[in-house]
Structures are given as structure tokens and as C-alpha cells.
């Protein structure tokens, strides 16, 4: 268990701009990182705050995983263009939250191999990645009413584009999140089951009572024109929904999907060459093969079959052509 927050030392991170000043500030979260090539060096995480009059505060983050690109692209655009005169309340924008990972194009940080979305609530005396998480938890999150944390599949997964929330014990909080997901207006909307929720930003933000939404907008370690368009439109829609920007969210059709149990996930038990039998959005039947894994070692051996464990449609798949035992091969959702 982490120590109570009051017992924690101060964060070593400093913002180079005033987080609470009116107008537009472009700066950095500066995190001291002493190393061979820079004795008193720092990690510099780009940050923009756009603050208008009184009103709600949105915290918008991308690059929590460093190989997911729709969020950083949409948020870099927003940070450059958002007019404080049009903002009621404030928008705190961190387009590349795990900045060392984004620079490296990898899911985790090259400094400490830290997976930021498994490092929350963080530790001010921990690794670089844990220090980033702690600053978000104790300094950014308390300022926010609404949080949008962009994700995509990264190098190893590809997703049907959706905006998501979780089933929450507080049904009023859950309803606020469902309304925010609906306003975002992705082609698909998901009540999402996490297989590994410990240490996630999601869990920390939800435990703090925030309206928290996330996305999975594609993947494969790149961005697509269509998924970047969904990200840009979604963030504008969300700010309108929150009353931070004027106007109504642009009406978009969304189809709600649900991940009801751990049976949504199927994992490889062999290594080999992955042959998808169903593409994203395609129908899946319980017990039917969704992929085959061809052996790398020899001819004359049949491929292993990967079978779905429930009926639904394919919402995510392993992306690279080769798989290892334990890789998530397919994710099925219903709705
Ligand atoms: Ca991710």
C-alpha cells in the first residue's frame, strides 16, 4: 500500500508556467534526472494551460504510452490553437505525458522501463516514471473535474476506434462518464473491463471522484487519418459537453459495446506466425477460431487455432505478424 499522501515528500517536479494563471501558458513539467550525459539534467514534459474565466477544468493527456499517436497529435493541435477567450474554466493539456517513452517511440520509458499506466498513484521518491505519476495524482488531478486520457493500441495491438468508461460503484459518477463518452462521439463507445487495473491512471482518477474517459483509437504503432479525425472531433465535443467551449457536441452515431467478463480476451499459447481469421469489427462466435498460429520451425505441422470464448464482434487484435505465448491475440465485445 502507498503511504498516506500527507506523509509523502514534495514532488521533485516543477511546472515552468503558473498552472493557475489566466491566458495561455506553454511550458514544461521539469523533472530532475541526473545522468551520465547531464549531471544536473531534467526530463522536460511539454505542457499547455489555457485558462479563461471561472468554470470547470479539463485535464487532457496523451502519450501515457509512448507508441500511441492519435492523442499526442490531437492535443498538440489543441494546445497550439485553443483561444482562452473561448474557454470557460481551464484546459490543462499534456500531449506526451510519458515524454521519455514518446521520444523513444516505445510503450514504456527507456529510462526505467516504467509503464506509466501501471505506475499510479506514483511515488515522489521512486523512478522517473513513478515521479510523473505522482505529480499527476497530487498536483494535476486535484485541479481537474474532467479527465480525458487518450490511448490507442500501440505497436502490438490494433483496436476498433472507441471511447470508453468503466462500470463504477458510484452510479452518479458512472452516469457522468457515460454522458462524456457519448459526447466524445467515437464510432464505438465501450463499457470496458480492465484485465490489469492496478496502477492505472483510470483507477486513480475514478477513485478521486473525477469524470474519467479514455479511448482506444487504433494502433499498430502509428496513426491513421480516420482515427486522428475521431480524436480531434472527440476532444472538441468533450469540451463543449463540459461547458468549457460554447456550442453543442457535433452529433455523431456511436454504437455502444460492452466487455462483460474476462472471456472477452484470448491469449496465444504458442509462438508463431499469426493468421487472423476475423478482421476488426467482424462477427465472432464462442468456440470458433478467430486466428491461427503457424509454426515457425517446420513444415507438415498443422497451425494452432485460437478460439473465441464468447459471441460478439472483434474489437482488438494482436498487430505484429509474429506472436509469443501469452500475447493477447483477440478481444471480443458484445452489443
Ligand atoms: Ca495504451
pLDDT (0 to 100) of residue 4: 54
pLDDT digits (tens, 9 = 90+) for 62-83: 999 999 999 999 999 999 999 9
Percent of the chain with pLDDT over 90: 95
Helix (H, G, I), strand (E, B) or coil at 224: coil
Residue-averaged pLDDT of the chain: 96
Give 273-308 pLDDT, tens digit per residue: 999 999 999 999 999 999 999 999 999 999 999 999
What is the per-residue pLDDT for 189? 98
Q: Considering the chain, what percentage of its residues have pLDDT values greater than 70?
A: 98
All three cell numbers of 231: 480524436
Digit-coded pLDDT (tens) for 226-276: 999 999 999 999 999 999 999 999 988 999 999 999 999 999 999 999 999
pTM of the model: 0.96
User: Is pLDDT at 6 greater than 70 in this prediction?
Assistant: no
pLDDT tens digits, 49-67: 999 999 999 999 999 999 9
Query: 15: CA distance to ligand 1 center in Å?
Result: 25
Spacing, Cα 213 to ligand 1 middle (Å):
13
Centre of ligand 1 from the C-alpha of residue 217, in Å: 10
User: From the CA of 65, how far away is ligand 1's center (Å)?
Assistant: 5
pLDDT at 1 over 50: no
Inform me whether the pLDDT recorded for 181 exceeds 90: yes
Q: How far is the CA of 54 from the centre of ligand 1 (A)?
A: 33
Residues 6+ apart with CB under 8 A from 36: none
8 Å CB contact between 179 and 91: no
DSSP 123-143: -TTS-HHHHHHHHIIIIIGGG
Tell me the mean pLDDT in the region 96-108: 98
- Mind listing the pLDDT tens digit for each residue in 188-211? 999 988 888 899 999 999 999 999
Q: What is the pLDDT of residue 197?
A: 85
Examine the pLDDT at 107 and tell me if it is beyond 70: yes
Is the backbone of residue 312 left (phi > 0), alpha (psi -120 to 50) or beta? left
- 219 CA to centre of ligand 1 in angstroms: 9
Residue 3 has pLDDT above 90, yes or no: no
Kindly give the distance from the C-alpha atom of residue 8 to the centroid of ligand 1, in angstroms, as a whole number.
Answer: 28
Q: How far apart are CA 190 and CA 270, in angstroms?
A: 30
CB neighbour list of residue 288: distance below 8 Å, 6 or more residues apart:
307, 308
Q: What is the mean pLDDT of residues 162-187?
A: 97
Amino acid at each position: 500500500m502507498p503511504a498516506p499522501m500527507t506523509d509523502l515528500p514534495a514532488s521533485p517536479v516543477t511546472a515552468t508556467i503558473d498552472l493557475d494563471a489566466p491566458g495561455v501558458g506553454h511550458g514544461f513539467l521539469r523533472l530532475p534526472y541526473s545522468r551520465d550525459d547531464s549531471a544536473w539534467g531534467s526530463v522536460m514534459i511539454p505542457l499547455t494551460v489555457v485558462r479563461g474565466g471561472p468554470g470547470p477544468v479539463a485535464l487532457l493527456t496523451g502519450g501515457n504510452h509512448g507508441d500511441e499517436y492519435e492523442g499526442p497529435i490531437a492535443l498538440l493541435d489543441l494546445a497550439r490553437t485553443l483561444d482562452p477567450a473561448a474557454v470557460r474554466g481551464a484546459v490543462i493539456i499534456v500531449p506526451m505525458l510519458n515524454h521519455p517513452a514518446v521520444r523513444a517511440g516505445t510503450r514504456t520509458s527507456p529510462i526505467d522501463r516504467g509503464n506509466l499506466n501501471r505506475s499510479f498513484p506514483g511515488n515522489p521518491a521512486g523512478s522517473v516514471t513513478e515521479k510523473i505519476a505522482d505529480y499527476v495524482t497530487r498536483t494535476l488531478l486535484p485541479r481537474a473535474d474532467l479527465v480525458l486520457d487518450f490511448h490507442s493500441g500501440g505497436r502490438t495491438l490494433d483496436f476498433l476506434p472507441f471511447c470508453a468508461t468503466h462500470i463504477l460503484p458510484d452510479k452518479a459518477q458512472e452516469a457522468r462518464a457515460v454522458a462524456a463518452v457519448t459526447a466524445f462521439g467515437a464510432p464505438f463507445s465501450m463499457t470496458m473491463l480492465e484485465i490489469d487495473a492496478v496502477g492505472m491512471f483510470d483507477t486513480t482518477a475514478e477513485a478521486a471522484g473525477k469524470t474519467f474517459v479514455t479511448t482506444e483509437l487504433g494502433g499498430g504503432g502509428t496513426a491513421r487519418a480516420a482515427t486522428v479525425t475521431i480524436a480531434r472531433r472527440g476532444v472538441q465535443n468533450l469540451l463543449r459537453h463540459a461547458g468549457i467551449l460554447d456550442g453543442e457536441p457535433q452529433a455523431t452515431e456511436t454504437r455502444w459495446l460492452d466487455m462483460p467478463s474476462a472471456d472477452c480476451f484470448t491469449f496465444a499459447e504458442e509462438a508463431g506466425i499469426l493468421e487472423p481469421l476475423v478482421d476488426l469489427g467482424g462477427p465472432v462466435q464462442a468456440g470458433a477460431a478467430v486466428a491461427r498460429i503457424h509454426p515457425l520451425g517446420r513444415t507438415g505441422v498443422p497451425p494452432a487455432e485460437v478460439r473465441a470464448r464468447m459471441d460478439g464482434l472483434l474489437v482488438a487484435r494482436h498487430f505484429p505478424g509474429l506472436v509469443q505465448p501469452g500475447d493477447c491475440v483477440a478481444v471480443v465485445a458484445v452489443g
